[in-house]
Structure formats: structure tokens, C-alpha cells
Chains A and B, each alone.
Chain A
Amino acid sequence: MEPIFEQFVRDLTGGFQIPFWAPMLVSLGLVLAFIALNAMFMIWLERKICGRIQRRLGPMLTGPKAWARFSMWTGGWFQTPCDSVKLLLKEDIVPAQVDRFGFMLAPVLIFMAALAVYVPLPISSTAHGQPSPIVVAVADLDIGLLYVVAITTLTILAILTAGWASNNKYSLLGGMRAGVQILSYEIPMLFALMGPMVLAGSLSLGDLVLVQHAGLFGVPFLGWFLVPSFLGAVVYLICAVAETNRPPFDMPEAEQELVAGFSTEYTAMRFAMFYLAEFSNTFVVCMIFTAVFLGGWTLPGFVPPGSLNLGFFHLPYFDLLAGMAIFFAKAYAVVLLLMWIRWTFPRLRPDHLMTFGWKFLLPLSFLNLLICTVLAAVQQIYFGGNPG
């Protein structure tokens, strides 16, 4: 973020040197705005797709009537903004018997985790194809993947705290179920991500994308880690659904058994924070899947020019914008897949979930790591330019 932001400001103002804290503040604002707007859009999309799968129209009434008459996909655009305003204006209730400290801490903690996880996610790059492309991320950390997994564990902490502090049996059971579920599925997820790590020889998400663009065995089309690490991609996607508590893995808030699980006692802003964090996390796992398995902001054999000159119109930063467009197109394709899964599969039973995670996904992720290690060794021995 920093070098690009600095360059942008310098280009715009003619040599103004920004203070060192400016990039941090700007990235924080951008990520916050992105989380809120993107979650609103995703909630609308989720309801529309749910409607389509269940042969309904979804929200149609809030918004311009002319748009709604046009097609189901143009109706009800203002539904989620209105819902958000309603949530913000509702009375904030802290029940008398709850543990106040834990009750107030949990939503903050879960939102902190949802916010912090955006730091190493790369969405584009400039100077692509040159010796040192600058990756667009808040900070392309050396330990990117490890950081993401470590921050995710804060979510478990927040959910457990919410369940315990609510002082309510449904909340406690929901919190415990969520904690056990996320903890169990984190292990196969980590091993599924280790395949690409071995292939790329790096933990940085930016490096992972660049290595994928360079290709495996000298073939750029083999480059996306979806191909050599296919098992890992499947395991990661299943674990990602379980990690975000989405159906078919939504036992933590199985309505007929647990009311609303750990969020039973929460209303207004605090509930909105849980909801926002859930949708933000869903998009984050899709972004990670895109960066790790789908080649991030790159397409095989495509290097966008630094700026586009259309004769009458000169577009600077074209490579950056094209990369972003490619990245978000891919990420939203994964989001659509997750939504499709959500509305077509029935909910699992908790013990089936545990058996599936520990006895099936974990060995499968080990197998994936083995395959990736062999491929990385072959690449190192026969094709030089060893990844790692």
C-alpha cells in the first residue's frame, strides 16, 4: 500500500511528501468502508440467490419501482441499507444477568479479527512482469498466510466469550459448538494451505500469486495451484464454509435447537457487528482462495500494460485497475459458489461434522501435502528455478 499510495499522491500533487502515518489511516478507512459496503451487497446477493433457488423473487419492494419492474435482479436494492439503519437505531440492550465485561468485549473482538485479517490480502500489483512488482495490499507480510490463520483463531475466542458471557444455556451450547467446529476445521485448513506454501516456497500471499503467474514446470497454464493442489483446494473450500459457520455447517445457530446460538442475547449494534464480521469473513476466505489457488489478480499469459492509451483518453494505473477487476471477479465467482452450496445442501449433524473433519478431511489434506511436496521436488530437480 505505502509505495503505491506515496507514488499516487506525488503524481497528483507534484511532489508532496506524505507523513508516515497517512498510509495506515487511509488503508484503515478503505478497509472499513469496503467491509460495510461489501457486506451490504453480499447480504442482498445472498437473499436474491436464495430466492432464485427457492423459486421466489427475494427482496423486491424497497427501492425504485421501475427497476423492480425490469427484472428480479434489479429490484430491492435499498433493502440492506434500510435494514442496516434499522439495526443501528434499535435499542441497545444488555440483559441484567450477563457478564458485562465479556458481553461487551465479544463483538469488539470478533470485529477486530475480521478487520485485522485484511492486512496481508493482495488485490493487485503495479509494474507487473517487471523484476520487482509492487503488490497492492495493506502490507504484504512475510508471514501472510500464517498471520491470516493466527488472526482467525481470535474469532473462536470471541464466539466462546459471547456464548459464556450471555449466561444463557442456548448461547453457551452454541458458543461451544462453534468453538469446537472452528478449532477442528482449522487443522485440515492449515494442512491444505501448506501444499501451495511448499510449491511456492513462501508464506507471503503476494509471492504466492507471482509464483502462480510464473507457472509450474515452465507451463503457465499449470500455474494456478488449483491444478497441482486440487485436493487442497477442495479441502480448503469445505473448511472455509465450516470456519465461517455457514450452512451446511451452521449447527452453532441451528434455530430449532438453539434459538440463535451464541448471538441469542445480542441486539442492535452488537448483533450487527457479529453479522458484519460473518459476511466479511466469508468474503475473506473467498479472497484467500482466489489468491492461493486461483492465481490472484493474474490471468495465465496476460500482462496488462502500465497505462492504457485510447487516443482520446489516457488511463494511468491500468495494470493496477485490471488486476483489481480480475481479482474481484474471481473472488465473487467463489462467493457465488459458496452461496450455491449454502442453499442446496441440508445441515449436518454435529457428530457427523466432527467425524468428517477429523477422519476424512485431515488425511486428505495430508495426501495433498505429500503430492505438492513431490511436485515441488520434481520442479526443483528437473526445471531449475526451485520454488523455495
Chain B
Amino acid sequence: MIFDPNPVAFWLLAAMVTGCALAVIRAHKLYHAGLALVGTLFGVAGLYGLLQVWFLAGVQVLVYVGAIVILLLFAIMLTHHMMTPNLKTLSTQPWTAAAMCLMLLAVLLGGILSSTWQTAPDTTVYPTWTSQSGFQVAEAIPSVKALGFRLLDPFTLPFEMVSVLILVAMIAALAVARKPPTPEDPAEGCEEVVP
């Protein structure tokens, strides 16, 4: 029998994701929760890698670990809970929380069970280029190239709409967070910080 490492890797990664997720909500220091979140996101990236979507795994690490968690940690450092040793981590309304979680679980399970999962790789053939022989027909593997063709060919409109949506969200966040200028101090909220 040939040893298949994939199931072992899957269960290890699954344990890592769940364990770290538990640590996020149970950590007694906010910063530790942030670090545990990194573990969760890395585990998810590992799961993507196991499914051989390397691009998604790379983007997961770059965007979530590299940008979002770092920003989160900066935000944590700015709070006064930064070094508080014993944060209260349990909810004060356990039954409501349990009900909400069960509802979320039901919705997710419903989605997972009712979906027909396409497990075969993308077999569309895309032209590729090598330095020696010019155009060649690519191997039918889910590569970065295939993803690029997919994003810019059939899915251009949704792709662009998502970027507009993100822009709108960003401007909206700015508009909400910024104080309106008052007559006494017109520069309130947007003054230049002089170091």
C-alpha cells in the first residue's frame, strides 16, 4: 500500500484551524488572540495548498496575514487593553450566543450539503508561451494563467464590480469615521499632524 499523506495533512491542518480559532476567542491577551488568528489563516492557506490552488493560498497569506491581521495588531496596540493580562473572554449571554451559532451552523451545513461540488480540475486549454518554442498549449492544470483567463474573460464584469464595491465601502468608512467640520474649527478631523 502506498502511503497517502493527503488525509494526514488535511486532519492536521483542520486541527490547526480549529485549535487556533478556539485560541482566538479564549486567549487572555488581545495580542495573543491576534497571533492565533494568524495560525487560523495560515491553516486555511494550507488547505488551499492541499487542493492545489496555490495562487489562492498565496493571496490568502498576502492579504489576510500580511495586511488585515497586521492592521488588526496595530489597532490592538492602540487600545488600552494592550497589556491587560486577564481579559474576560466568555459571553455574558451564552444562550443567545449558542442559538446564533446553531443558526449559522444550520445555514452553512445547508449550503454545504445542497451544493454539488465540482472536483475535477479546470480542463479548458489555454495558450501559453515558453521562451524556446513560442506558443504552446498549456497543460490542463488549475494554474495562475487559467485563473487569469477566467477572471478577465467570462467574469470581467463581476470582477470589476467587486473592486467598485470595495472602493464604495472604503469611502463610506471614511465618511462615517470623519467628524463633520464645525463652524468654530473648520479643519476639525482633517488637520495635518506635525511631528
Contacts and interface: CB of A to CB of B under 8 A. Distances in A.
Q: Do A and B bind each other?
A: yes
Interface of A: 99, 101-102, 105, 129-131, 141-143, 146-147, 149-154, 156-157, 160-161, 164-165, 167, 172, 176, 179-180, 183, 186, 201-203, 207, 210-211, 213-214, 349-351, 384-388
A186 B66 contact: yes
Nearest to B65: A153
A172 B83 CA distance: 12
A141 B131 contact: no
B61 interface: yes
Contact of B82 (A157, A164, A183): A164
Contacts of B54: 141-143
24 contacts: A102-B31, A131-B133, A143-B55, A146-B55, A146-B58, A150-B62, A153-B61, A153-B62, A153-B65, A153-B66, A157-B65, A160-B77, A164-B31, A164-B77, A167-B83, A176-B74, A176-B77, A179-B70, A186-B66, A201-B145, A203-B144, A207-B131, A384-B134, A388-B145
A201 B59 contact: no
B70 A143 contact: no
B129 A386 contact: yes
Chain B CB within 10 Å, residue with most, of A102, A157, A167: A157
A157 B38 contact: yes
B140 to A, nearest CB: 14
Contacts of A151: 61
Interface string B77-90: 10000110000000
A55 B131 CA distance: 48
B77 A150 contact: no
A160 B66 CA distance: 12
Given A102-B35, A143-B55, A203-B144, A387 B129 contact: yes
Interface in B3-47: 29, 31-32, 35, 38
A385 B129 contact: yes
A385 B143 contact: no
A149 B67 CA distance: 12
A143 B145 CA distance: 10
B50 interface: no
A129 B133 CA distance: 11
Given A152-B66, A385-B134, 11 more contacts: A101-B32, A129-B132, A146-B58, A150-B65, A153-B61, A156-B66, A157-B38, A164-B77, A385-B129, A386-B135, A388-B145
Contacts of A152: 66
Contacts of A203: 144
Nearest to A160: B73
A186 B130 CA distance: 29
Contacts of A183: 67, 70
Given A156-B70, A160-B73, A351-B195, A149 B62 contact: yes
Contact of A143 (B74, B77, B129, B144): B144
Contacts of B57: 143
Contact of B131 (A105, A186, A214): A214
A386 to B, nearest CB: 6
A146 B59 contact: yes
A contacts with B: majority SS:
helix
A154 B38 CA distance: 10
Contacts, number: 99
Contact of A142 (B65, B74, B143): B143
Nearest to B142: A142
Given A146-B55, A385-B129, A105 B65 contact: no
B94 to A, nearest CB: 28
Contact of A150 (B38, B58, B134, B144): B58
B70 A153 contact: yes
B74 A179 contact: yes
Contacts of A201: 129, 145
Nearest to B73: A160
B69 A157 contact: yes
B153 to A, nearest CB: 14
Contacts of A141: 54
A286 to B, nearest CB: 22
Contacts of B143: 142
Nearest to B78: A176
Nearest to B62: A150
Contacts of B74: 160, 176, 179-180
A203 B38 CA distance: 25
A306 to B, nearest CB: 16
Nearest to B133: A131
Given A176-B77, A388-B129, A154 B65 contact: yes
Nearest to B70: A156
Contacts of A167: 83
B16 to A, nearest CB: 15
A121 B142 CA distance: 22
Contacts of A385: 129, 134-135
A201 B152 CA distance: 14
Contact of A210 (B77, B83, B131): B131
